[in-house]
Amino acid sequence: MNPVDISNVTVAYDRKPVLQEVTFNVPEGKLIGIVGPNGAGKSTLIKAILGLVPTASGTVRIYGKPYKAQRKLVGYVPQRGSVDWDFPTNALDVVLMGRYGHIGWFKRPGKKDTKIAMQALDKVGMKEYADRQISQLSGGQQQRVFLARALAQDATVYFMDEPFVGVDAATEKAIIALLNELKAQGKTVLVVHHDLQTVKEYFDWTLLLNKRQVALGPTEEVFTIDNLQKTYGGRLAFLDQQVNQPFVQQ
Amino acid sequence: MSYGAWIILTGSLVGVSCGIVGCFLILRKMAMLADAISHTVLLGIVLAYLVSHSLEGIYMLVGAGIIGLLTAFLVQVLDTSGVQSDAAIGVVFTSLFALGVILLSAFAGKVHLDVNHALMGEITFIPWDTLTINGMDLGPSAVWMLGFVLILNLILIFFFYKEIKISSFDPAMATAIGIPVIFIHYLLMSMVSITTVASFDSVGAILVVAMLIVPGATAYLLTDRLIIMLCISAVIGVASAVGGYYAALAWNISISGSMASIAGLIFGLTFILSPKHGLLGKVLARRSISTQHS
Ligand SMILES: Nc1ncnc2c1ncn2[C@@H]1O[C@H](COP(=O)(O)OP(=O)(O)OP(=O)(O)O)[C@@H](O)[C@H]1O
Ligand SMILES: [Mg+2]
């Protein structure tokens, strides 16, 4: 069964459609890049899958069942700017929130949850920062805390919205190694990604999106100049046609 | 218990309840909504009286709870249908409050509440309005009502602590993992409503806002942990009540006004002196950096 199976999903904010008839399904155990210009609806797609914005039509299936029945299988890394980092809490506490979905009503995170959360912090290299108030972390460290929280969710399918924004090159490589580790465990990871230069290096599959779905498939097949032009329109310039490394003009 | 002790106890209960509930309002950036609810519950009180013909605390709590929820609901509806959120709050707040004032003045003869009392509160009379069951004098009924509301608030926060926390910090994540964020929102709004009503008699509609917002805002400057913020806020609430009472005695001024002023004073001092976020802390930090460089 496919980890993510979406058919005919349309999403509109105030009647203005931002996603139209998106239909795709992805195979298990792949690292999948979601690529498209600003406002293409990448975040909206993830939110629609997770039931955070209503869909005007279409169906979403996670391993064959509606999302609501599969919450525990799904991990989520929101865009970093979506929360207030001045909230009075520390890194460990935020990562523990990844356990809340498993704990159930009226219960507190226990020793086991704390252990899982510490392991997750360790994995992203943030163990020493467990007690640090979250506003006193750098942007890249905050991003890693979010990643650790998703790891603590112990999910099978992960949705990550721009996890590389604000992280340095070394951290980015470390995160990619981590994602590959998840993949090796048979997990499926969908990542919204902006840097076209690294798409081929990072992702097995790529989803090209701009309100409609332009293409989905193995990266070497779909990540072509032709498809990129369809996705980005006139905003695409080519640094070097030969190595086929497209890059978006700012 | 002496007259003064009852007043201090009443004020302290107001301080603790408002202080704790207020923290969540600060964190969710809903101070304005609290302001609105603290006024619209007046309508709830009047309606509760007109329906039940009684001024018993329980009817007041139910009436206020319903109108408080209605306020939160109408604001939400206007907000999601495109009205700016501060305008939405303003419209709902003034309309419902005006309705409350009209009803109150129309039935003023029958309701022992008067507008002035509702707005300003009158903690001075609290000790005489006692609860008697089978001829036994059990102390001021306001104390019973406030105690009941405080315990209810504590129970709700205890049981829904992690749900309230995550839906305040990251509502999207909370929704994604199946936490009923909307339910938690209305739960908090109900807590604000009943806390307001219970505190109403003592400090009045206007000053209850001070007690809801100021201790929480102060505690926010002093700690990086939610649970400690709740404790500090409660302590500041009590300190304002006790300090306010003695200040009022000393200068023969309004007790509720002086309670709110003490809360404001504590906030001001914290704002200047807090080591973490205060002005002094910032100046010291800057100085230590510049001395390191020189
Ligand atoms: N809450 C909202 N209300 C109204 N319109 C919205 C809302 N959120 C997003 N939109 C609109 O929907 C479109 C898609 O937004 P979305 O955030 O999904 O884009 P994105 O692909 O994630 O962009 P980015 O690369 O900038 O993150 C945009 O045109 C945006 O203006
Ligand atoms: Mg986005």
pLDDT of residue B108: 63
Average pLDDT, chain A: 90
Q: Do B27 and A94 touch (CB under 8 A)?
A: no
- Which residue of B lies nearest to A133 if distances are taken between CA atoms? B224
Nearest CA to ligand 1 atom 31: A39
Evaluate whether B140 touches A45 at the Cβ level (below 8 Å).
Answer: no
Per-residue b/e over A158-177, b at no fewer than 16 CB within 10 Å? Answer: bbbbbbbbebeeebbebbbe
Q: Do B226 and A74 touch (CB under 8 A)?
A: no
**pLDDT tier at B294, thresholds 50, 70, 90:** low
pLDDT of residue A242: 37
Apex A114 CA angle, A73 and A163, nearest 5: 55
Atom nearest to A162 CA in ligand 1 = 27
- Which residue of A lies nearest to B27 if distances are taken between CA atoms? A87
Average pLDDT, chain B: 87
Give the pLDDT mean for A209-232. Answer: 92
The CB-side HSE value for A45 (13 A sphere, CA atoms) comes to 32
**pLDDT tier at A250, thresholds 50, 70, 90:** very low
Residue B226, phi then psi, degrees to nearest 5: -60, -50
Cα of A170 vs centre of ligand 2, distance in Å, is 23
Give the pLDDT mean for A101-127. Answer: 94
Indicate the number of domains in chain B: 1
Cα of A43 vs centre of ligand 1, distance in Å, is 7
CB of A38 closer than 6 A to ligand 1?
yes
- State the DSSP string of B68-121: HHHHHHHHHHHHHTT--HHHHHHHHHHHHHHHHHHHHHHTTTT-S--HHHHHH-
pLDDT of residue B150: 96
- Is the confidence at residue B120, as pLDDT, over 70? no
Nearest CA to ligand 1 atom 28: A39
Question: How many angstroms separate the CA atoms of B140 and B137, rounded?
Answer: 9
User: What is the percentage of chain B residues whose pLDDT exceeds 90?
Assistant: 45
**pLDDT tier at B84, thresholds 50, 70, 90:** confident
The model's pLDDT over B153-208, given as tens digits with 9 standing for 90+, comes to 999 999 999 999 999 999 999 999 999 999 999 999 989 988 988 887 777 776 78
Tell me the nearest-neighbour CA distance from A129 into chain B, angstroms. Answer: 14
Question: How many angstroms separate the CA atoms of B262 and B266, rounded?
Answer: 6
Nearest CA among B279, B281, B244 for reference residue B259? B244
- Residues whose Cβ atom is located within 5 A of ion ligand 2: A 43
Cα of B145 vs centre of ligand 1, distance in Å, is 48
Please tell me if residue A52 touches chain B, with a CB cutoff of 8 Å: yes
Q: Which residues of A touch B170 (CB under 8 A)?
A: 78, 82-83, 97
pLDDT of residue A235: 65
Indicate the top mutation candidate among A18, A193, A208, A235 to test ligand 1's pocket, ranked by most ligand atoms within 8 A of CB: A18
Pick B83 or A62 by higher pLDDT. Answer: A62
Atom nearest to A44 CA in ligand 1 = 18
CB of A250 closer than 6 A to ligand 1?
no
Give the pLDDT mean for B103-108. Answer: 80
The model's pLDDT over A191-208, given as tens digits with 9 standing for 90+, comes to 999 899 999 999 999 999
Cα of A82 vs centre of ligand 2, distance in Å, is 10
Pick B12 or A244 by higher pLDDT. Answer: B12
CB of A39 closer than 6 A to ligand 1?
yes
**pLDDT tier at B111, thresholds 50, 70, 90:** low
Please tell me if residue A103 touches chain B, with a CB cutoff of 8 Å: yes
CB of A35 closer than 6 A to ligand 1?
no
**pLDDT tier at B130, thresholds 50, 70, 90:** confident
The model's pLDDT over B230-263, given as tens digits with 9 standing for 90+, comes to 999 999 999 999 999 999 999 998 888 899 999 9
pLDDT of residue A234: 67
CB of A82 closer than 6 A to ligand 1?
no
Question: How many angstroms separate the CA atoms of A10 and A15, rounded?
Answer: 11
Give the pLDDT mean for B32-40. Answer: 87
Pick A41 or B106 by higher pLDDT. Answer: A41
**pLDDT tier at B114, thresholds 50, 70, 90:** low
Pick B101 or B229 by higher pLDDT. Answer: B229
Give me B149's structure tokens: 């509301």
CATH number at residue B269: 1.10.3470.10
Question: How many angstroms separate the CA atoms of A196 and A228, rounded?
Answer: 10
Beta bridge partners of A75: A158
Q: Which residues of A touch B169 (CB under 8 A)?
A: 83-84, 87, 89, 94, 97
Model confidence, pTM: 0.89
CB of A42 closer than 6 A to ligand 1?
yes
Q: Which residues of A touch B223 (CB under 8 A)?
A: 88
Q: What is the helix (H) or strand (E) element at residue A121, kind and residue range?
A: helix A111-123
- Is the confidence at residue A210, as pLDDT, over 90? yes
- Which residue of A lies nearest to B165 if distances are taken between CA atoms? A97
- Is the confidence at residue A244, as pLDDT, over 70? no
Question: How many angstroms separate the CA atoms of A115 and A203, rounded?
Answer: 31
Q: Do A88 and B161 touch (CB under 8 A)?
A: no
CB of A44 closer than 6 A to ligand 1?
yes
Q: Which of A124-133, B54-63, B66-75, B164-173 has the lowest mean pLDDT?
A: B54-63
Full residue range of the structural domain in which residue B238 is found: 3-293
Question: How many angstroms separate the CA atoms of B38 and B52, rounded?
Answer: 21
Give me A75's structure tokens: 């991990």
- The CA distances from residue A240 to A201, A225, B294, in Å, are 17, 12, 50
User: What is the percentage of chain A residues whose pLDDT exceeds 90?
Assistant: 80
Most confident of A213-217, A243-247, B230-234: B230-234
- Which residue of A lies nearest to B172 if distances are taken between CA atoms? A52
CB of A207 closer than 6 A to ligand 1?
no
